[in-house]
A and B are shown apart, each in its own frame.
Chain A
Amino acid sequence: MEKLLEVENLTKIFTLGSVLSRVKITAVDNISFFIRPAEIFALAGESGCGKSTTARIIMGFERATSGTIIHNGRREGKNEKVWFTEGIQAIFQDPFATFNPLRTVERYFFETIQNYRLATSKQEAIERIDAKLRLVGLTYDDLAGKYPSEFSGGQLQRISIARALLTDPKLIIADEPVSMVDASLRMSIVNLFKRLRDDFGVSVLYITHDLATAYYVCDRIAIMFRGKIVEMGTVEQVLMAPKHPYTQLLRASIPEADPARRWQGMIRLSDIEQDEYLRQGCRFAGRCPHVMDVCRRVTPPQFDVDGAQVACHLYAEMPRSDEVLIASQGQ
């Protein structure tokens, strides 16, 4: 099975607080996943569970505490930045933060063209820029000479996607690319990802809180909770038949676009403590309706449940994912 990107046992520990009261936060805790060529892979889960940190490590903006990133079969050395290969481009959560307010937006495009030597003349550069902008429903004339403040959030987000496309990347890392845009534009952006995958073989790491678009556009999905991947599989498996109690809570909390079906009952967030990061055993134990004794003592390994990987003791009867993996590799 071909893998474009492989993340192996990735861990990132931050320290927080003053000299006197240092707190260690394991933002990413030994996670592994891979992305195939021409695949849209979603990373979803709790706010603050380590999604952006994972993305930043893949791009080389942040150093992993331990673990490896393998891109195109090449192991990334300590000082090499995958980010600087034209094969990977990124789109960020906050388009306002992507652009410096004092520089025209087009300068970013020309800079990328220059850095990667993508054109030999200004005319050629403009043509390339225009072609990429048209993919996101804009034209070069729409942004020539303009500053970031002259665009809305949604417009800026489409502009940063167009810029990412300049180098014809094979992998796009999109950290919440649609959270700032309207429902219709959301569809046009995820439809664009679909088209890039189907027509140009591009893969996308789609980090999002919008599970409906993840279902609509992604092939596989990983659900993270407190630095760990708790469930991973196809979107059909994970979103239509969630197995992990956290995924089930997540799925049940998606607000429906129907005022007749408002959220029922109250949820308590107050016991979500950073302590959950430090606790032994399953980090969801404090809120899990199915919690058992073993959950508080032993960190659940990943079990293979109908082809999906689920880190929960409820499935202890199932084979362990790592054993299934070894068995399949042995064949």
Chain B
Amino acid sequence: MGDAILRAEALRAFYALDIYGKTKIIQAVNDVDLEIRENEVYGIAGESGCGKSTLLKALAAAIEPPLRLMGGKVVYRVNGAEIDVATLSQEEKRRLRMTYIAYVPQGSMSVLNPVMRIRDTYRDFIESHLDVRQKGEAFALAREHLVELGLPPKILDAYPHQLSGGMRQRVTIALATLLKPRIIIGDEPTTALDVVVQRGVVQLLRDVQSRLKNTIVLVTHDMGVHANIADRIGIMYAGKIVEEASAERIFGAPTHPYTRYLIDSLPRFGDKTPRESVPGSPPSLANPPSGCPFHPRCPHAMEICKREMPGFTRVAPDHRVACWLVGEGSYGKAA
């Protein structure tokens, strides 16, 4: 594991919606500091709607209206040089996409053209990114990856609607790994899969990662997948990263009250005792709570929690938590 390859600094990305002439702002990513290291698997987990997909869009330089970059920056390190994504032209971004950074968005259907056979989607993709010499090799690799993912090459003749949800998901993963990108960003890439195939996909991602020495950023709700593949995990709540540590510590020593709920709500085999979910309801990101956004639902909330967002405290060498219970925070800042 090496130096930072992808960095977010005080990143803020909001949706600005125009509703009957009034602008409504949704603070989906709110002051996120993040450093993703070369050749690691970084997992992101958190409540539905807390801003994970939005964060990935920002990291993948895929910000489009109504989403707007409101502050901070995203920095890539390409061939040793640091590049502020905001300074890139559309054309430069297009070129970096898929070759430097491959992004598989949530809901794989959106990537596949519904009126095109899978073969033609692949062909278009390969032709628009590679020169003639590399094309044959790319096609061969595509076939190889499909087979490794348990899909017969025959499915290249199918239209997306003729494939099951899990098949479509694998088709897009095979596509994303094709151009040997330095960073692969996957938004829920295994949710529609059975656990055997899921294991195969995770295996392929890991294999690609060790072969190409690249970096994987993975959002999933499946904590079992995080436990199996992630080196480090960031826990997100209401647009902010509230805890970050090695997978071992997130599962073994979860510290933020939200993380503790998340880990405790996991069902276990052989145990049917009612599992509780996090009390209260998710915060509105249009009007997030003051101070620590978890305070309305937190059993440990104190006066200060309602007024001020805590900064990060390092509770162990590679483990940071933003919660007043562990300290006022000095390293980095979450708000």
Contact for B268 among A153, A176, A212, CB less than 8 A: A212
Identity of the chain B residue whose Cβ is nearest the Cβ of A271 in the assembled complex: B150
Query: Would B199 and A263 count as touching, CB distance under 8 A?
Result: yes
Alpha-carbon separation in the docked complex, A163 to B200 (Å) = 36
Query: Would A250 and B196 count as touching, CB distance under 8 A?
Result: yes
Contact for A14 among B150, B162, B198, CB less than 8 A: B162
Q: Give A147-187 as 1s and 0s: 1 = Cβ < 8 Å from B's Cβ atoms.
A: 00011111100000000000000000000100111111111
Identity of the chain A residue whose Cβ is nearest the Cβ of B284 in the assembled complex: A142
Alpha-carbon separation in the docked complex, A213 to B222 (Å) = 12
Which residues of A are found within 8 Å of B83, using beta-carbon distances? none
Query: Would A154 and B48 count as touching, CB distance under 8 A?
Result: yes
Query: Would B196 and A46 count as touching, CB distance under 8 A?
Result: yes
Is B149 an interface residue when CB atoms closer than 8 A count as contact? yes
Which residues of A are found within 8 Å of B223, using beta-carbon distances? 183, 257
Nearest-Cβ distance from residue A228 to partner chain B, whole angstroms: 15
Query: Would A215 and B269 count as touching, CB distance under 8 A?
Result: yes
Is B225 an interface residue when CB atoms closer than 8 A count as contact? yes
Identity of the chain B residue whose Cβ is nearest the Cβ of A235 in the assembled complex: B272
Which residues of A are found within 8 Å of B19, using beta-carbon distances? 145
Query: Would A182 and B275 count as touching, CB distance under 8 A?
Result: no
Interface size on B, residues (CB 8 A): 74
Identity of the chain A residue whose Cβ is nearest the Cβ of B223 in the assembled complex: A257
Identity of the chain B residue whose Cβ is nearest the Cβ of A142 in the assembled complex: B284
Q: State whether A209 and B162 are in contact (beta carbons under 8 Å apart), knowing that A180-B48, A187-B276, A257-B223 are contacts in the complex.
A: no
Which residues of A are found within 8 Å of B15, using beta-carbon distances? 150
Nearest-Cβ distance from residue A217 to partner chain B, whole angstroms: 9
Identity of the chain A residue whose Cβ is nearest the Cβ of B224 in the assembled complex: A255
Is B130 an interface residue when CB atoms closer than 8 A count as contact? no
Q: State whether A267 and B196 are in contact (beta carbons under 8 Å apart), knowing that A216-B267, A259-B251 are contacts in the complex.
A: yes
Q: Which of A92-100, A124-132, A301-309, A312-320 contacts B (4 or more CB under 8 A)?
A: A92-100
Q: State whether A253 and B251 are in contact (beta carbons under 8 Å apart), knowing that A16-B162, A155-B49, A184-B47 are contacts in the complex.
A: no
Is B157 an interface residue when CB atoms closer than 8 A count as contact? yes
Is A211 an interface residue when CB atoms closer than 8 A count as contact? yes
Alpha-carbon separation in the docked complex, A18 to B274 (Å) = 51
Which residues of A are found within 8 Å of B46, using beta-carbon distances? 182
Which residues of A are found within 8 Å of B99, using beta-carbon distances? none
Alpha-carbon separation in the docked complex, A97 to B160 (Å) = 14
Is B45 an interface residue when CB atoms closer than 8 A count as contact? yes
Nearest-Cβ distance from residue B295 to partner chain A, whole angstroms: 17
Query: Would A179 and B197 count as touching, CB distance under 8 A?
Result: no
Alpha-carbon separation in the docked complex, A201 to B311 (Å) = 49
Is A328 an interface residue when CB atoms closer than 8 A count as contact? no
Is A79 an interface residue when CB atoms closer than 8 A count as contact? no
Query: Would B227 and A259 count as touching, CB distance under 8 A?
Result: yes
Residues of B142-162 whose CB lies within 8 A of A: 147-152, 154-155, 157-158, 162
Contacts between chains A and B (CB distance < 8 A), count: 193
Which residues of A are found within 8 Å of B151, using beta-carbon distances? 272
Query: Would A263 and B228 count as touching, CB distance under 8 A?
Result: yes
Query: Would B265 and A267 count as touching, CB distance under 8 A?
Result: no
Identity of the chain B residue whose Cβ is nearest the Cβ of A190 in the assembled complex: B267
Nearest-Cβ distance from residue A278 to partner chain B, whole angstroms: 11
Query: Would A211 and B195 count as touching, CB distance under 8 A?
Result: yes
Query: Would B248 and A16 count as touching, CB distance under 8 A?
Result: no
Query: Would A186 and B221 count as touching, CB distance under 8 A?
Result: yes
Which residues of A are found within 8 Å of B148, using beta-carbon distances? 269-270
Alpha-carbon separation in the docked complex, A249 to B200 (Å) = 13
Q: State whether A216 and B251 are in contact (beta carbons under 8 Å apart), knowing that A17-B157, A47-B166, A185-B277 are contacts in the complex.
A: no
Which residues of A are found within 8 Å of B152, using beta-carbon distances? 273-275
Is B165 an interface residue when CB atoms closer than 8 A count as contact? yes
Alpha-carbon separation in the docked complex, A17 to B269 (Å) = 42
Interface centre among A14, A239, A256, by most B CB within 10 Å? A256
Residues of B95-131 whose CB lies within 8 A of A: 106-107, 109
Which residues of B are found within 8 Å of A17, using beta-carbon distances? 154, 157-158
Contact for B49 among A49, A154, A258, A261, CB less than 8 A: A154
Q: Give B236-277 as 1s and 0s: 1 = Cβ < 8 Å from A's Cβ atoms.
A: 000000000001100110000000011101111110101111
Interface centre among B149, B162, B165, B203, by most A CB within 10 Å? B165
Query: Would B274 and A191 count as touching, CB distance under 8 A?
Result: yes
Is A115 an interface residue when CB atoms closer than 8 A count as contact? no
Alpha-carbon separation in the docked complex, A18 to B117 (Å) = 11
Q: State whether A255 and B227 are in contact (beta carbons under 8 Å apart), knowing that A47-B165, A184-B262 are contacts in the complex.
A: yes
Is B91 an interface residue when CB atoms closer than 8 A count as contact? no
Is A48 an interface residue when CB atoms closer than 8 A count as contact? yes
Is B188 an interface residue when CB atoms closer than 8 A count as contact? yes
Is B79 an interface residue when CB atoms closer than 8 A count as contact? no
Alpha-carbon separation in the docked complex, A18 to B15 (Å) = 44
Is A21 an interface residue when CB atoms closer than 8 A count as contact? yes
Q: State whether A183 and B195 are in contact (beta carbons under 8 Å apart), knowing that A16-B157, A47-B165, A259-B251 are contacts in the complex.
A: no
Query: Would A23 and B154 count as touching, CB distance under 8 A?
Result: yes
Alpha-carbon separation in the docked complex, A327 to B166 (Å) = 40
Alpha-carbon separation in the docked complex, A155 to B285 (Å) = 13
Is A325 an interface residue when CB atoms closer than 8 A count as contact? no
Is A326 an interface residue when CB atoms closer than 8 A count as contact? no
Which residues of B are found within 8 Å of A267, using beta-carbon distances? 196, 199-200, 203
| 6 extra A-B contacts, CB within 8 A, seeds A154-B47, A209-B198 | A145-B19, A151-B49, A182-B262, A188-B277, A267-B200, A269-B197
The 4 A-B pairs of least Cβ separation, nearest first, read: A154-B48, A47-B166, A255-B224, A152-B49
18 interchain pairs, CB-CB under 8 A = A16-B157, A45-B194, A48-B167, A52-B164, A150-B26, A152-B48, A153-B106, A154-B49, A184-B262, A186-B265, A209-B194, A209-B195, A253-B195, A258-B227, A259-B228, A261-B227, A267-B196, A267-B200
